[in-house]
Structure 1
Amino acid sequence: MADSLPQETRSPQLLKSETLLVLALSLGASAVSALISFTGSLTKPGGLKDQAATLNGSYAPGRPWLDLSWQLFGIATALVPVLLVAHLLIREGAGLGSIGFDRRRPWFDLGRGTLVAAGIGTAGLAFYLVARAAGFNLTVVPESLPEVWWKFPVLILSAIQNSVVEEVIVVGYLLRRLGQLGWTPMAALMASSLLRGSYHLYQGIGGFIGNMVMGVVFVLLYRRWGRIGPLVVAHALLDIVAFVGYALLAGRVDWLPTP
């Protein structure tokens, strides 16, 4: 894999710097933010389950068009690190196709991704409910947007953005770079899964553990299939169901926790 890099980009120090910069602009920064948020939750009076973590909230309450502008701006700018990764991979003569993020096998990606989402979604919901009941997790509020016409389209776009950013960077790009730096497969798997868990720490210990386990599964599937396409589909479906499902069910069913 490393032999495909142009000579001037093969320096381990350059690869380390590049990887750290990509993470600092994206999920690495999110991990630090999540740690600070979790520290604040731990030191706040009351238990974790009595506090809430809102994933999609309003940026301009009472001003729907301004709110929509901010929502779309946030989604678009969050994808910039993915464009950076695409640029870096193209520069080394590979491109996003080298990590299986292309349109070569759409039905494979859709089919496998749907199956993965169905399996992980059920187990993930059960784990969240148990972790919250045990006091290890905040109450996760997937959305608190106003009842406006763009609510569901924005939730779907947000879910797709999350899936693309996380799977491209924390699986496809990070594993490729760690492999080029000589990391063992097990060490790279642990780094990827720990990173995924860490930027979900704002949800609590349950969010950290659940997403770390999900990270292990996703890395193993990526290595088996050689594509992040199914992982992007699975992640997008998980988030769409969580965001839209919460919007439709919150306050209407007893088993779904609300603040």
Structure 2
Amino acid sequence: MTAERPAVLSPVAPATTPAERRRTTAEIWIVLGLSLGQSGVYALVNIVARLTAETPLADQSATLNASQSDRSLLDLTYQLLGVFFALVPVALALYLLSGRAGATWRGTRRRIGLDWGLDGARPGRDVAWGFGLAAAIGIPGLAFYLLGRALGITVSVQASALNEHWWTVPVLVVAALQNGLLEEVVAVAYLHERTRDLGWSRLWFIVWSSLLRGSYHLYQGIGPFFGNVVMGIVFSWFYTSRWGRQRVVPLVVAHTLLDVVAFVGYALLPQEWKDALGL
């Protein structure tokens, strides 16, 4: 793919006065406290509990996408409500960014590259980059997980524990999209915009975005923490590079693809294959 210069972005006034900087810093903590930062704190407590338990880390498990009810329609309702409320922090982050001086809702979406359907958007290019990033992260990620299991620093992750219903696969796909939007919009696009408002360098943004991504995966063990830090470095670097052009859609596509393969693949994989792979 031919590299292009970043698109010209409309000017947005950064935080310049001490009061503005304090307000921006407080806003970041509030957004993270309602979303990924909260998950990171719980994950930190969880890994401490796991490491101090009598059962070795390698013999413990973590379950994703668990059923909430034995009744099909009630379980579906719970799953969809979970997705909806998990996306509220995304809407909040976009709303707050659009409230900056010189910013608009439409301009904010274009600024972070969440502008499918707007003039100038290139969905084909975004999808192509998304598939490329998914391939670059997915294969090493699986190898890293298996290595972590072999070293005893990663728990057994059950990517799906939903009961079998007609809606199971669609809900898993929606859950994957929810994860992609939440993590990439908040941990990358929003955090990049706000740390830049505070005058942070690109390097510091990449470091903190990557550590944040690793923190809320600690409940899966030490291995996934480092694996997701690496993923965070790649994604945040790409986003701010001349190839990424500060477009978050390719990251959302890549993340969604990775989770669809993990969630749906796990749900459809025969049990003997899961046992052989240590899943």
TM-score interval (norm. to shorter): over 0.9
Q: Which amino acid aligns with 1:63?
A: R
1:158-173 equivalences under 5 Å are: 158-173=175-190
Q: CA deviation at 1:7?
A: 8.2
Residue number in structure 2 paired with 1:237: 257
Determine the C-alpha separation between the residues in 2 that align with 1:211 and 1:194: 8
The reply to whether residue 182 of structure 1 matches residue 199 of structure 2 is yes
1:46-100 Cα deviation digits (max 9, x unpaired): 211211111110111x211111110000000000000001111221214222111
Q: Which amino acid aligns with 2:22?
A: Q
1:45-60 equivalences under 5 Å are: 45-60=54-69
1:25-40 equivalences under 5 Å are: 25-40=34-49
Counterpart of 2:163 (choices 122, 127, 146) is: 146
Residue number in structure 1 paired with 2:33: 24
Residue number in structure 1 paired with 2:276: 255
Determine the C-alpha separation between the residues in 2 that align with 1:77 and 1:221: 28
User: TM-score, normalization: structure 1?
Assistant: 0.95
Percentage of matched positions with identical amino acids: 48
Residue number in structure 2 paired with 1:125: 142
Distance 1:156-1:208 versus aligned 2 partners, 3 A rule: same
Q: Is the 8 A contact 2:176 2:256 kept in 1?
A: yes
Q: Which amino acid aligns with 2:278?
A: P
Unaligned runs of 5+ in 2: 1-8
1:7-51 Cα deviation digits (max 9, x unpaired): 899810111111111000000000001111111111211211211
Q: CA deviation at 1:2?
A: 11
Determine the C-alpha separation between the residues in 1 that align with 2:14 and 2:62: 44
Residue number in structure 2 paired with 1:99: 112
User: TM-score, normalization: structure 2?
Assistant: 0.88
Q: CA deviation at 1:250?
A: 4.5
RMSD over aligned Cα atoms: 1.8
Determine the C-alpha separation between the residues in 1 that align with 2:111 and 2:171: 30
Counterpart of 1:215 (choices 232, 238, 246) is: 232
Residue number in structure 2 paired with 1:201: 218
Distance 1:8-1:65 versus aligned 2 partners, 3 A rule: farther
Worse overlay, 204-213 or 3-12: 3-12
Distance 1:145-1:245 versus aligned 2 partners, 3 A rule: same
Determine the C-alpha separation between the residues in 1 that align with 2:16 and 2:236: 29
Higher-helix-fraction structure: 1
Determine the C-alpha separation between the residues in 2 that align with 1:20 and 1:141: 31
Worse overlay, 241-250 or 67-76: 241-250
Aligned length, in residue pairs: 257
1:128-172 Cα deviation digits (max 9, x unpaired): 000011000000110011011111011000000000000000000
Unaligned runs of 5+ in 1: none
Determine the C-alpha separation between the residues in 2 that align with 1:36 and 1:121: 27
Q: CA deviation at 1:196?
A: 0.2
Residue number in structure 2 paired with 1:83: 91
Q: Is the 8 A contact 1:2 1:180 kept in 2?
A: no
Q: Is the 8 A contact 1:152 1:244 kept in 2?
A: yes
Q: Is the 8 A contact 1:250 1:256 kept in 2?
A: no
**Secondary structure of 2:277 counterpart:** coil
Worse overlay, 220-229 or 233-242: 220-229
